[in-house]
Amino acid sequence: MKKIRKALAFMTALCIVLSLAACGQPSSENSKAPDPTKGPDPTQQQSEAPSNTAAGEITLWTYPVGNWKDEATVKALTDAFTAETGIKVKVDYLDYTAGDDRVNTALTANNAPDLILEGPERLVANWGANGKMVDLKDMFDDTDMSEINAVNEGIMKACTAPDGAIYEYPLVMTAHCMAVNLNAFKDAGADQYLDLDTHTWTTDDFLLAVDALYKHYNSTVAAVFCLGQGGDQGTRALVNNMYGGTYTNAEHTKYTWNDENNIKALTQLKSMNGIAFDASLDGGKEIAAFYQGTLKMAFCWNIAQQLDPNSAKTGAEKTLSGDDIAFMSFPSQDGTAQLCGGIWGFGIFDNGDAARIEAAKQFIKFMCDSEHTADAVKAANYFAVRTTAEGADLSKIWADDAIMNEYTKLMPFLGDYYQVTTGWAANRTEWWNMLQEVGTGADITEVINAHCDAANAAAG
Amino acid sequence: MKTGNSVRSKVYKAVSVVILIILALLFLFPLYWIVTGAFKPSTDIYALEPKWLPTQWVTSNFDELFNRRSAPLWELAVPFSRWFTPNHEDLYWSVGPTLPAAFRWLINTVFMSVTALILTCVTAAMAGYALAKKRFRGRAIIFALIVCAMALPKQVVLIPLLKEMDKLRLYDSLWAVILPTVGWPFGVFLMKQFSESIPGEILEAARIDGASELKTFSTIVVPMVKPGIGALAIFTFINSWNDYFMQLVMLARGNISTISLGISTLQNDTTVNMGLLMAGAALASIPIIIVFLIFQKYFTQGITMGAVKG
Amino acid sequence: MANSAKPMSRALQRREDVAGYLFMLPSLVFFVGFVIIPMFICILTSLTSSNMHDPGMFGSFVGLENFIKLWQDDVFKKGLLNTFIIVLVSVPTVCAFSLWVSSAIYKLHNVALSAFRCIFYLPVVTGSVAVTVVWRWMYDNYTGILNTALKSAGIIEQNINWLGSESTALACIIVILFTTSVGQPIVLYVSALGNVDQTLVEAAQVDGATDFQVFWKVKWPQMMPTTLYILVITTINSFQCFALIQLLTQGGPNHATDTVMYYIYYTAFKLTEQAGHFGYANAMGVMLAIFIGILSAIQFRLGREK
């Protein structure tokens, strides 16, 4: 026994020593590397902070909202916040595939973060509705409301729960669109169907374009991706807009995506050779295939992608091989689509600690309604949800950016923010499961009815 | 007849060697693709015709992997300090300098696997010996439970385990992954099978000589079941190194992420950067492969001796 | 054991009890704490409508409702079927394949032998998460090497969406699982073959037995313990395919790759709006535990008889 214990102690010691020693060497070189981007001050501040009490430190989890997934970008923002308030922010980064699961496991284990950056479909419709979030109503005065409503009246509506509680403090917004590979369209003679000035097209033009592309390439040119829920706003907007279908009712109480216009759209899509229902792709992998040039259209697109396709840093508006990318509205019968919006902002999980909630509110105020808001918005690569923040004008932050300016042409098409309908998370799984079944050749009417009913049943 | 037979067996042998070589190449392929892919520029990675070698060897994928996230080199928390701090947060007595998070993931994974290995081997060796050689009451029931629970996937007790870890204030720490791994009874089963082969007479003799139980265990039993401990150590180490599920469920913070978890988040990102993924996969697999090749002999010896006893 | 046959004296029995349990103690702490107690809670909660949003451990008692619902749930049944398919396909193929490889390589020159052994072991040490990165690319619908190779060989004309079609997705998962499972069995069989009693083999050969007969009549019985051990670890391995499914197919398409293990996770943390989803997931866990318990008991019985 003694021997074992000795061996055990020895091995533990060895393990610790090894892990320290082995990595101690690179540290001396590497400790310099991450620093130069920032001044020495915020780091100094940080190393002093641990002596503070708990409220001096909060945790933030971000979904990949534009560049809020990029550590260097976020660190610059949080460092500025720490410098001003002395509150340290620990940031962790979620992805859209496993992110929900991780928040849910953390909630189950009573270990939720203080702050989370996401949209109303999670903050309001899911965690807010289940009593996990803090009501932020006291953070909005009339000036705030009017500043936000001046941009779009729908924003605050989306961030507010049916009972009047506000679970999300909005920061940025965008409209989700689709993208086409212009060179491919030109080669196939399909560019005649695109109106690159207004970035709109009709369903008939879209269908003709797909056929022309298919004739030219004799392979799949666009994919209705359905591996999972990632990027499903693209498939929803595509199906809804083709023949004017709806997704929910106007009151956001019931899912209506089994309406006949959607069935017509799915039947049409399914019948086309150029379009595949692909259960091996989700939004992200679709973007990769589009960027790579195998797909000629992407349904999962927005301004952040337009500025940096596939996040590959190989130049705005270009595919890997240098083909031009044009963003387009989704096709509809009259050319005016209802685009799905994204409204991202912060929510606070109620961890039962007033000091931390207070610190989190300070953080929100700093990012969403102060002179720093312009930076926070720019970090996301999206548009501000308010005209001014504490006197700082936000309407012109992208004035010198031609692509952003061009993209504002799509913003008026921003449609109803229906993602706050109850049972949204369950509904999403029903949606992509439905697409998978349609893809494998099941009867469309039957399948869509079954899944839409299931979604409504889950919504209760 | 004799010659016909040997010709036939020679042909068979030649054919089988050829098939083996083809199979070996297939098995080598993923690793080859990871290693070369990690050094390919993105034009090669996304090329429509597969590029067997990088047209140009670049390290940009690794640069990106290392610049993506950073984490403290070490962050030594006072064990179980969450029980005593007012907000149930870890109390750190030392936090190291910042470096690329991928290294931290490796360190975390090594710590996790080695700790699980040590704890499993010690507890399983003792329990296996007791089950095989001690005629205590209740032994049959315990053994039956162990056999039934041996193949249980951890998903079965996912939710209770998660809530238990919350109650123990271990959620979001590496211990939440280590402890259930140690609890999994395969190791006990394996060590029991090994300990069966210890001749009862030797134990008897030791007892007559007046050796204490612990002394008997450490001087007689342990040396005899050493190969078994080796086999179990390898099995545990590789299993916890490759485990993904428990880490996914139990670990939330980036600072205590493991290499499997880290790479999977690269894979799940909104956009998929294949080069980055390959670099991550290379970082995850190369160290353990090197360890494997160094200890290859022990790996094979350990595993081997164990099974024969059955 | 000589002494086990005789009834022990009381004092002796007591000594054995104390010593036995003391040796068991460290292991039992972990086993009871992290397997038995959670399992017990799992059984209890499977009878309730517990869900994520309830603060407590248990919801309200609903009796066997969850289990009844389970047998009406097509996804669960599909998952159960897939779980069995994975185990029933991968365990025998892994055993047969590794037996063949080992018998082909165990007489080779030492260097060649360890080279082959290492190569077949590599996917095991590479790790499933890293391995999926490559396999996803190989199976890719548009640019994957599998489609490219098969097309250039003229075997297929149109790209096959390996992971995206119901008919191939599960097979794809099983193939990956296979490559990450054969390493250990090969090592085991190689040494078992090396340890076969040569005098028996020679005796059989003198009696005019063919190679085939020698193998089945002489070598195979001697390798039985190894085979049983391999059966056990391969079965355990087959239940560990969660990472492959989560990272490659998420159970799709049309639940073609859903296993019970994945569906438990999915129900617990994706279907959080379904009433009583924790209870439901736990009920699945209980069912799975029962099936696996039976499976293990059978395997163990088989082992006993030999």
Tens of pLDDT along chain C (306 residues)?
A: 444 445 668 888 888 889 899 999 999 999 999 999 999 999 999 999 888 877 666 778 888 999 999 999 999 999 999 999 999 999 999 999 999 999 888 888 888 888 898 899 888 888 888 889 889 889 988 888 888 889 888 888 888 889 988 899 999 999 999 999 998 889 888 888 888 888 888 888 888 888 788 888 888 888 888 888 888 888 888 888 899 999 899 887 889 999 999 999 999 988 777 777 899 999 999 999 998 888 877 877 776 665
**CB contact burial A236-272 (16+ within 10 A = b; e otherwise):** bbbbbbbbbbbbbeeebeebbbbbebbbbbbebbeeb
Tokens 């049916």 belong to: A162
A353 and A334 in a single domain? The answer is: no
Q: What is the pLDDT of residue A33?
A: 33
Which stretches of chain B drop beneath a pLDDT of 50? 1-2, 306-310
Contacts of B122 in chain C (CB under 8 A): 26
Output the six-digit token pair for B46. Answer: 């996304």
pLDDT digits 0-9 by tens, A98-136 = 888 889 999 988 889 999 999 998 999 889 988 899 999
**C39 vs chain B: nearest CA distance in angstroms?**
6
**B90 vs chain C: nearest CA distance in angstroms?**
22
End-to-end Cα spacing for chain B: 39
Fold of domain C70-305: MetI-like fold (1.10.3720)
The answer to whether A330 touches A337, Cβ cutoff 8 Å, is: yes
Helices then strands, counting H and E runs in chain A, come out as: 18, 13
A264 and A367 in a single domain? The answer is: no
Q: What is the pLDDT of residue B228?
A: 82
- What is the band of A51 on the pLDDT scale with cuts at 50, 70, 90? very low
Neighbours of chain B (3+ CB pairs under 8 A): A, C
A65 and A122 in a single domain? The answer is: yes
Q: What is the mean pLDDT of residues A279-299?
A: 91
Q: What is the pLDDT of residue B72?
A: 85
* Distance, CA of B235 to CA of C142 (rounded, Å): 38
CATH of the domain at A230: 3.40.190.10
Element (H, E) at B70: strand B70-72
**B185 vs chain C: nearest CA distance in angstroms?**
7
Q: What is the pLDDT of residue B113?
A: 92
- What is the band of A241 on the pLDDT scale with cuts at 50, 70, 90? very high
Considering only CB atoms, A429 lies closest to which of C161, C265, C271, namely C271
A402 and A436 in a single domain? The answer is: no
Q: Where are the domains of chain C?
A: 70-305
* Distance, CA of C282 to CA of B146 (rounded, Å): 20
* Distance, CA of B75 to CA of A328 (rounded, Å): 48
A231 and A111 in a single domain? The answer is: no
The answer to whether A174 touches A341, Cβ cutoff 8 Å, is: yes
Peptide bond between residue B153 and the one before it cis (omega within 30 degrees of 0) = no
A243 and A323 in a single domain? The answer is: yes
Q: Per the CB < 8 Å rule, is C269 touching A101?
A: yes
Q: What is the pLDDT of residue C128?
A: 85
Q: Per-residue pLDDT for A261 more than 90?
A: yes
Find the largest Cα–Cα distance for chain A.
Answer: 83
Considering only CB atoms, B162 lies closest to which of A4, A108, A312, namely A108
For an interface test with C, the pick among A107, A280, A420 (most C C-beta atoms closer than 10 Å) comes out as A280
Q: What is the pLDDT of residue A55?
A: 66
**Quick one: what percent of chain A has pLDDT higher than 70?**
88
Considering only CB atoms, C120 lies closest to which of B27, B29, B130, namely B27
Contacts of B117 in chain C (CB under 8 A): none
**Does A235 or B272 have the greater pLDDT score?**
A235
The residue in chain C having the minimum alpha-carbon distance to the alpha carbon of residue B285 is C126
Q: Per-residue pLDDT for A19 more than 80?
A: no
Pairing of strands A222-225, A275-278: parallel
Considering only CB atoms, A104 lies closest to which of C139, C254, C272, namely C272
- What is the band of A171 on the pLDDT scale with cuts at 50, 70, 90? very high
User: C278 CB near a chain B CB, below 8 Å?
Assistant: yes
Q: What is the pLDDT of residue A27?
A: 30
Query: At A386, phi and psi to the nearest 5?
Result: -140, 160
Q: What is the pLDDT of residue B284?
A: 86
Torsion angle defined by CA atoms of residues A249, A254, A260 and A266, in that order, rounded to the nearest 10 degrees: 110
Output the six-digit token pair for C75. Answer: 């996804």
User: C233 CB near a chain B CB, below 8 Å?
Assistant: yes
**Owning domain of residue A68:** 40-174+341-413
Considering only CB atoms, A425 lies closest to which of C139, C161, C272, namely C272
**B249 vs chain A: nearest CA distance in angstroms?**
6
End-to-end Cα spacing for chain C: 18
**Quick one: what percent of chain A has pLDDT higher than 90?**
60
- Name the region of A390 (left: φ>0; alpha: ψ -120 to 50; beta: rest): left
**A313 vs chain C: nearest CA distance in angstroms?**
22
Q: Per the CB < 8 Å rule, is A98 touching B172?
A: no
Q: What is the mean pLDDT of residues A431-455?
A: 93
Query: Is A229 part of a structural domain of the chain?
Result: yes
Q: Per the CB < 8 Å rule, is B124 touching C4?
A: no
Find the largest Cα–Cα distance for chain C.
Answer: 79
User: C57 CB near a chain A CB, below 8 Å?
Assistant: no
* Distance, CA of A248 to CA of A266 (rounded, Å): 17
DSSP string, C222-237: HTHHHHHHHHHHHHHH
Q: What is the pLDDT of residue A431?
A: 94
* Distance, CA of A163 to CA of B254 (rounded, Å): 35
A354 and A328 in a single domain? The answer is: no
Closest by Cα among C266, B33, C136 to A281: C136
End-to-end Cα spacing for chain A: 61
Q: How many residue pairs from chains A and C have C-beta atoms closer than 8 A? A: 95
What's the distance, CA A406 to chain centroid? Answer: 21
Q: What is the pLDDT of residue B299?
A: 66
pLDDT digits 0-9 by tens, A149-163 = 988 888 999 999 989
User: C101 CB near a chain B CB, below 8 Å?
Assistant: yes
A305 and A437 in a single domain? The answer is: yes
pLDDT digits 0-9 by tens, C132-147 = 988 988 998 888 888 8
Find the largest Cα–Cα distance for chain B.
Answer: 86
The ipTM, to two decimals, is: 0.87
**C59 vs chain B: nearest CA distance in angstroms?**
13
If one counts the domains in chain A, the total is: 2
A260 and A358 in a single domain? The answer is: no
Q: What is the pLDDT of residue A12?
A: 44
Q: Which is it for the CA torsion B5, B11, B16, B21, positive or negative?
A: positive
State the CB neighbour count (10 A cutoff) for residue B59.
12
pLDDT digits 0-9 by tens, A345-387 = 999 999 888 899 999 999 999 999 999 999 999 998 899 999 9
- Name the region of A131 (left: φ>0; alpha: ψ -120 to 50; beta: rest): left
The answer to whether A278 touches A226, Cβ cutoff 8 Å, is: yes
**pTM for the whole thing?**
0.88
At the top level of CATH, which class does the domain B39-309 belong to? mainly alpha
The angle subtended at Cα A39 by Cα A37 and Cα A44, nearest 5°, is 125
Query: How far is residue A18 from each of residues A12, A31, A89, A411, measured CA to CA in Å?
Result: 10, 19, 31, 56
